[in-house]
Amino acid sequence: MSPKRTAATAPVLRRITAEAVLQALVSGDELTAGDLMSATGLSRPTVHSVCDELIGRGWVTETGAAHAPASVGERTAIQVAASTGGRPSRRYALNAGAGLVAGIDLGATKISCCLADLRGRIVVEATEPWRDEHVGAPERVMIARRIMKELLAEAGGDPGRVLAAGMAVPAPVTDDGHAVALESYLPGMAALDLRTALRPDFDWPLLVDNDANLAVMAERWRGAARGVDNVIVLLAGWRLGAGICLGGRLIRGAGAAGEMRFLELVEGVGNTDAVGGMCRELGAVAAAEIIAGDRPATPEDSVLVELCAGDPETVTAEMVVEAARRGDQAAVDVVDVVMERTARAAAVVSTLLDPELLVLAGGPADAGDVLLPVFDHHLGRLNSVRPRLAASMLGDHAALMGSVRAALDHAFEHLLD
């Protein structure tokens, strides 16, 4: 009993051309009709017609001619194209302020939220550590809503201006992109229907995905993997997970692709729970090392012991990295052990999937100088044909930026509806 099949096929063309124009504009630059003509293959009258329509809908603005508004600190790559004489062209640009998208990163240790404009520039942002590690999932979602309300107030936007929201969670997400499958990471998360997580307050379309999946899209967007279609991000912070992008598309299998539990059956290492990432492992291995060490654990002898003030329980990944940087042999050994293990995982993944680029992310911040060479060494030893290697450029922000990207994608897809 569908309401009379609106098969309308004339406007389809308009839709296609409008999408093409919008797509060209999404990059964020000001473009002239000529630019749009060559970008889309359309004729000049059509370009103007489409742009007028998009302006009417509010998604595009016509910027004043060659003023080059160059707001300080932001190089907008506007080429004013030394005029050779001739009527000045109209300049079109995406109306970045026509809407907002929301990004949420429900991390293992903290929550980050932000609002971004249609160019993906973050307008407001807030990060909070969890009060304690064992906050339940429903409560975490409530905190996300509270923060988002505060951000909206700060930005002076009303909820209706937000076109979509993205959310990163540290666990696999089922195929429909909404519910969580495994329980191992966040207690109570699987029972939650994330599709409606923001619902009482915000009625936005909510895109939920695995943090590693979103991280890889973020690195492709604005990070170390720009323009790379076959890339894997190894998210090795508190847990070990991979975001896999092949052929320019996210790989999620039936939902849980990118999980690294195979390490257990590869070598018998790791708890049956989640496989730990570098942060967890560096601390744990170092603590074990100190406790079992045959050397006296004195601050004079060991930078590591000095840094943790003698208490192995308090050793953090940052301490290990710092100690290794200062030449402490025990710390160097710990780094070597943990990176060998991480490299082994990476070798399996990259042998099987043959990416062009491997991005290491989520480790202790700014530790690339210490970790990357060791990782590279082991990867080279294990894997004859290995991909290019890079450290994340987004670090902590990868998943958050990925959630923004997901929201933007959704928003643009439905902009013309």
Query: Which of residues 1, 2, 3, 8 is near DNA by CB under 7 A?
Result: 8
Task: Find the part of the chain contacting DNA (CB under 7 A) among 13-21, 113-121, 165-173, 202-210.
Answer: 13-21
Closest Cα to residue 54, out of 127, 147, 118? 118
| Residue 48 found at the interface with DNA (CB under 7 A) | yes
Going by their DSSP bridges, the two strands 60-63 and 162-169 should be labelled as unpaired
Residue-by-residue DSSP string for 102-122: EEEEE-SSEEEEEEEETT--E
Residue-by-residue DSSP string for 396-413: GGHHHHHHHHHHHHHHHH
Work out what residue 155 binds among DNA, a second copy, none; the CB cut-off runs from 5 to 8 Å by kind.
none
Closest approach of a second copy to the CB of residue 64, in Å: 29
Residue-by-residue DSSP string for 337-360: HHHHHHHHHHHHHHHHH--SEEEE
Closest approach of a second copy to the CB of residue 45, in Å: 12
Closest approach of DNA to the CB of residue 413, in Å: 19
Closest approach of a second copy to the CB of residue 364, in Å: 25
Closest approach of a second copy to the CB of residue 375, in Å: 15
Closest approach of a second copy to the CB of residue 265, in Å: 5
Work out what residue 34 binds among DNA, a second copy, none; the CB cut-off runs from 5 to 8 Å by kind.
DNA
Query: Which of residues 58, 65, 175, 269 is near DNA by CB under 7 A?
Result: 65
CB 237 within 8 A of CB 278: yes
Query: Which of residues 247, 292, 313, 417 is near a second copy by CB under 8 A?
Result: 247
Alpha-carbon gap, residue 414 to 169, rounded angstroms:
24
Closest approach of a second copy to the CB of residue 381, in Å: 9
| Residue 39 found at the interface with DNA (CB under 7 A) | no
CB 349 within 8 A of CB 232: yes
Count the Cβ atoms, other than its own, within 10 Å of residue 129: 10
Task: Find the part of the chain contacting a second copy (CB under 8 A) among 254-262, 290-298, 308-316, 366-374.
Answer: 254-262
Closest approach of DNA to the CB of residue 68, in Å: 13
Alpha-carbon gap, residue 248 to 60, rounded angstroms:
27
Q: Residue 6 or 71: which CB sits closer to a second copy?
A: 6
Closest Cα to residue 96, out of 72, 120, 128, 76? 120
| Residue 54 found at the interface with DNA (CB under 7 A) | no
Residue 157 carries which side chain, given as an amino acid letter?
G
Work out what residue 129 binds among a second copy, DNA, none; the CB cut-off runs from 5 to 8 Å by kind.
none
Work out what residue 158 binds among a second copy, DNA, none; the CB cut-off runs from 5 to 8 Å by kind.
none
Query: Which of residues 22, 24, 25, 42 is near DNA by CB under 7 A?
Result: 42
How far is the CA of 279 from the CAs of 6, 109, 317, 321, in angstroms? 55, 12, 5, 10
Q: Cβ neighbours of residue 314 under 8 Å, at least 6 residues apart?
A: 308
| Residue 348 found at the interface with a second copy (CB under 8 A) | yes
| Residue 351 found at the interface with a second copy (CB under 8 A) | yes
Site for a second copy in 166-195 (CB under 8 A): 172
Give the N- to C-terminal CA distance of the chain in Å, as an integer.
22
Give the binding site for DNA (CB under 7 A): 5-11, 13-14, 16-17, 32-34, 41-46, 48-50, 65, 83-90
